[in-house]
């Protein structure tokens, strides 16, 4: 009897141990989806170890050998990378690997948006929101209609809203006998971008946004009541403002203000607002993603590439339909570098390694700290980095690194940081 009991216990122990062993195998292979912040860069330890060989080679040979060594990482057995480095001072390529491979760029897509906007609109461009009215004003009564005309300014804030209402008060208005309209005629009616995932924190693509939400008119009506301005309508409707209307107040924010948050913090709403300013510049009745893409294609053609080779979907990089290459991003960065009117605005907007923005916690190494100025990109399975740095010999460089198929983002970030160190160190 005891033998039977012992045999049963033994079988139970074997049965219990099977799923535990299977679970351990899965974890070792890195198949499970875990928080990448908790994942060590163990797969990079060997191939990213300091290599004294590169320190004995002249630049840029040391860069070539060093990057080749980094690319031996096991990470690239299951993922893809497109990489290109351009010496801007010598105007020549010093490294390339899969540079023409089409990949999803994530938020480095914002470089295409920013450079296109600066090229098309100029650095002095303003994002405007305007308050207008029709009719007459007598004895404090505005007999006519009021229009809030959206210019897709993502920075429109409480101070701007107060300025709208106070401007009416300064004109002596205490009563509005007419309708209050939202003029959203700047762009089409699409509130989401093509290829956006339903479960992302997507920005609302409305020309009238307040506090990042489509609540502009509710806040405007509430502010009128708060300031004692009465109105006869039951709520705001939507209508295009007639050309004959009188301007009450215009609030604006500068290109640099939008660029700063768009690039330093990788703000998607700001990027999409920039994207539709590009679209509006075409003069089409409705600004649309299609119009913006046409302007971007003109720029791609201008820098010597074929726009038909790429897939463009949105301005922020949220879309899974975007497909660019490291070569395209590098040639855009080179184009910006050669055009002072673009470069003056772009370079100040980029995150600085170890200093601010999305690179604040990265690149603490002395060679790259404060040196690398680049746009980051992060989506599920995608890590990218593209921008500028200065080599130890004083040469200005631009680079693009796009990783796709990445399971643990920290591995790809560590790789990009090592590439930048190789570019900057003596």
pLDDT at residue number 7 = 44
Task: Report the predicted TM-score, pTM, of the whole model to 2 decimal places.
Answer: 0.87
DSSP track, 237-295: EE-PPPTTPEEEEEEEEEHHHHHHHHHHS--HHHHHHHHHHHHHTT--SSB-HHHHHHH
pLDDT digits (tens, 9 = 90+) for 240-250: 999 999 999 99
pLDDT at residue number 201 = 86
pLDDT at residue number 285 = 84
Residues 291-298: what's their mean pLDDT?
A: 97
The Cα–Cα gap between 38 and 367 comes to: 27
Identify the CA nearest to 245 among candidates 135, 134, 156, 386: 134
Identify the CA nearest to 400 among candidates 110, 57, 59: 110
Residue 106 has pLDDT above 80, yes or no: yes
pLDDT at residue number 29 = 24
Contacts for 374-377: CB closer than 8 Å, 24+ residues apart: 374/350, 374/399, 374/420, 375/107, 375/108, 375/110, 375/111, 375/263, 375/266, 375/350, 375/351, 376/107, 376/108, 376/266, 376/351, 377/105, 377/106, 377/107, 377/108, 377/109, 377/266, 377/317, 377/402
DSSP structure class, residue 90: T
Residues 164-178: what's their mean pLDDT?
A: 97
pLDDT-based confidence at residue 53 (cuts at 50, 70, 90): low
Residue 216 has pLDDT above 80, yes or no: yes
Report the 3 state secondary structure along 129-158.
EEEEECCEEECCEEECCEEEECCCCCCCCH
Residues 104-119: what's their mean pLDDT?
A: 98
Strand 141-143 versus strand 175-177 pairing type: parallel
Identify the CA nearest to 219 among candidates 142, 277, 159: 159
pLDDT-based confidence at residue 11 (cuts at 50, 70, 90): very low
Residue 206 has pLDDT above 50, yes or no: yes
Contacts for 288-293: CB closer than 8 Å, 24+ residues apart: 288/187, 288/188, 288/190, 289/190, 289/193, 289/194, 289/313, 289/314, 292/116
The tokens describing 93, both together, are 């390529």
pLDDT digits (tens, 9 = 90+) for 72-91: 999 999 999 999 999 999 99
pLDDT-based confidence at residue 232 (cuts at 50, 70, 90): confident
pLDDT-based confidence at residue 15 (cuts at 50, 70, 90): very low
289-302 vs 326-338: helix crossing angle, rounded to 10: 70
CA triplet 286, 292, 298: central angle to 5 degrees? Answer: 135
**154-185 b/e with 16+ CB inside 10 Å = b?**
bbbeeebbebbbebbeeeebebbebbbbbbbb
Identify the CA nearest to 420 among candidates 3, 20, 181, 83: 83
How confident is the prediction for the chain on average, in pLDDT? 89
pLDDT-based confidence at residue 52 (cuts at 50, 70, 90): low
Residues 30-51: what's their mean pLDDT?
A: 41
pLDDT digits (tens, 9 = 90+) for 54-74: 567 898 999 999 999 999 999
Helix%, strand%, coil% for the chain, nearest 5 = 40, 20, 40
What is the strand order of the sheet 136-138 is part of? 136-138, 141-143, 175-177, 230-231
pLDDT at residue number 234 = 86
The tokens describing 70, both together, are 């980094």
pLDDT at residue number 269 = 97
pLDDT at residue number 2 = 42
pLDDT at residue number 25 = 27
């Amino acid at each position: 009897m005891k033998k039977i009991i012992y045999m049963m216990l033994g079988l139970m122990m074997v049965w219990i141990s099977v799923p535990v062993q299977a679970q351990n195998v899965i974890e070792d292979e890195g198949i499970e989806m875990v928080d990448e912040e908790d994942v060590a860069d163990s797969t990079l330890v060997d191939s990213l170890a300091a290599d004294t060989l590169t320190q004995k080679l002249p630049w840029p040979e040391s860069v070539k050998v060093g990057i080749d060594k980094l690319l031996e990482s096991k990470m690239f057995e299951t993922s893809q990378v497109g990489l290109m480095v351009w010496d801007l001072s010598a105007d020549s390529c010093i490294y390339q690997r899969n540079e023409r491979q089409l990949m999803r760029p994530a938020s480095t897509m914002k470089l295409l948006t920013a450079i296109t906007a600066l090229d098309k609109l100029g650095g002095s461009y303003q994002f405007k929101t305007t308050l207008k009215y029709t009719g007459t004003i007598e004895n404090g009564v505005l007999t006519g209609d009021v229009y809030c005309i959206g210019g897709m300014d993502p920075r429109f804030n409480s101070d701007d809203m107060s300025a709208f209402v106070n401007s009416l008060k300064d004109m002596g208005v205490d009563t509005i006998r007419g309708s209050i309209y939202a003029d959203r005629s700047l762009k089409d009616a699409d509130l989401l971008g093509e290829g956006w995932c339903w479960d992302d924190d997507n920005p609302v693509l409305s020309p009238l946004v307040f506090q990042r939400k489509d609540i502009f008119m509710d806040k405007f009506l509430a502010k009128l009541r708060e300031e004692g301005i009465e109105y006869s309508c039951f709520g705001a409707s939507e209508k295009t403002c007639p050309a004959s209307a009188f301007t009450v107040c215009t609030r604006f924010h500068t290109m640099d203000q939008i660029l700063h948050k768009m690039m330093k913090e990788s703000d998607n709403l700001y990027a999409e607002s920039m994207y539709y300013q590009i679209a509006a510049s075409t003069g089409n009745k409705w600004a649309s993603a299609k119009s913006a893409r046409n302007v971007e294609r003109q720029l791609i053609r201008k820098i010597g590439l074929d726009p038909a080779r790429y897939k463009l979907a949105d301005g922020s990089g949220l879309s899974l339909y975007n497909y660019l290459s490291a070569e395209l991003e590098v040639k855009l960065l080179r184009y910006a570098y050669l055009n002072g009117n673009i470069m003056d605005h772009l370079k100040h907007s980029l995150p600085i390694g170890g200093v601010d923005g999305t690179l604040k916690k990265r690149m603490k190494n002395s060679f790259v700290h404060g040196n690398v100025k680049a746009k980051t990109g992060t989506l599920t399975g995608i890590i990218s980095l593209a921008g500028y740095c200065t080599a130890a010999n004083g040469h200005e460089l631009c680079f693009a690194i796009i990783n796709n198929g990445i399971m643990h983002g920290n591995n790809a970030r560590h790789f990009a940081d090592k590439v930048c160190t190789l570019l900057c160190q003596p």
